[in-house]
Amino acid sequence: MELHGHRVIYRVAGEGPPVVLIHGMVNSSRHWESVALRLADSYTVIAPDLLGHGDSAAVRGDYSLGAHAASIRDLLAAIGVDRATVVGHSLGGGVAMQFFYQFPQRVERLALVSSGGLGREVSPLLRGAALPGAAALLWLTVHPRILDALDRRGATLQARGSRRGVYLQAVVRALRPLEQPGARKAFLHTLRSVIDFHGQRVSARDRLYLLGPVPTLIVWGERDNTIPLAHGWEAHEAIPGSRFEALPGAAHFPHLEDPDGLARVLRDFLETTSPHAIEDADWGEVVGSRSPRRRALGRLR
């Protein structure tokens, strides 16, 4: 559909309560296919392409977490979805948390998969990509001949039973759209909005307490070398009542490396929790419950 004059792509499968799957950087809605189809017998699964990613428009504009969250709000409103369970992977986890913070009344549950925004550490590759001059290196990386060679290498590794082959082919699929200059610019704008040379520059840790009443699931690949597993554990400890699941066979892309495992964990979470509703009238009390002023008044009393 068109939103604000720009093409926005989303994919839908199944019928039932809505579940929104938000992809990460150098990913798209297509990368959720295996998980989405495993949930589609009981749920309406909605997977959007964030602006500048996949088949959605790459525009000159705002690629911050807040802007992506607002675009998802507009998309869901346009297709008639008022509330949903929101699942986010990597960058998409940061978008999902921002979506909850901006539009809490629209979130019934939250699931974070190898999520960004929970700590500073991130892989040297992503830190390097945020440096000035990275655009030229990115152009060399996404040259069709290089991508073809990486794709063949991934197929060879997969045929040998190596999970690295699945990972490599997923990266190639994600990089293909970056052959277009507009998509490369959108990727760099998105990356630099959340990462600099020192690591992740956006953190949700000071607001995790807000998720206390909301059913929250945190899933991580045990072999993740992109964002440390420890970020997930620390977030789990900071969110009262949250669940934590580690997938032994997955690294940073559980939806590609272990879609059965991830779908199983998500289904169990959906089936054993009740959707939560926060109304606008209650949000002030939720936010104010941990404010410095409220704590100071409590001590004076």
For the stretch 236-288, pLDDT in tens is 999 989 999 999 989 899 999 899 999 999 999 999 999 998 887 788 878 87
Q: Quick one: angle between helices 91-102 and 181-194, nearest 10?
A: 70
Q: What's the predicted TM-score (pTM) here?
A: 0.81
**pLDDT at residue number 294:** 41
The answer to whether residue 252 is domain-embedded is: yes
Catalytic residue among 29, 56, 90, 114: 90
Q: Does residue 143 have an active-site annotation?
A: no
* CATH number where 206 lies: 3.40.50.1820
The answer to whether residue 22 is domain-embedded is: yes
Give dist(CA 78, CA 48) in Å, integer.
13
Q: Does residue 252 have an active-site annotation?
A: yes
Rg (CA), the chain: 19
For the stretch 7-28, pLDDT in tens is 899 999 999 999 999 998 878 8
DSSP code of 58?
-
Residue percentage of the chain with pLDDT more than 90: 46
The answer to whether residue 219 is domain-embedded is: yes
Q: Which structural domain range is residue 234 located in?
A: 2-122+201-292
Catalytic residue among 49, 224, 255, 258: 224
Q: Hey, what are 106's tokens?
A: 């629209």
The answer to whether residue 300 is domain-embedded is: no
Q: What is the mean pLDDT of the chain?
A: 84
Give the residue-averaged pLDDT of 160-184. 70
The answer to whether residue 26 is domain-embedded is: yes
Output the CA–CA distances (angstroms, integers) from residue 268 to 38, 144, 261, 294, in the order listed: 12, 41, 11, 37
The answer to whether residue 9 is domain-embedded is: yes
Terminal CA-to-CA distance of the chain, rounded, Å? 55
Cβ neighbour number for residue 1 with a 10 Å cutoff: 11
Catalytic residue among 31, 231, 236, 252: 252
Q: Which of 11, 18, 50 is nearest to 32 (CA)?
A: 11
Question: What is the bridge-based pairing of β-strands 216-221 and 243-247?
Answer: parallel
Give the residue-averaged pLDDT of 57-66. 78
The answer to whether residue 131 is domain-embedded is: no
**pLDDT at residue number 299:** 39
**pLDDT at residue number 3:** 87
**pLDDT at residue number 133:** 58
Q: 195's torsion region: left (phi>0), alpha (psi -120 to 50) or beta?
A: beta
Q: Does residue 224 have an active-site annotation?
A: yes
**pLDDT at residue number 298:** 38
The answer to whether residue 76 is domain-embedded is: yes
- Overall domain count for the chain: 1
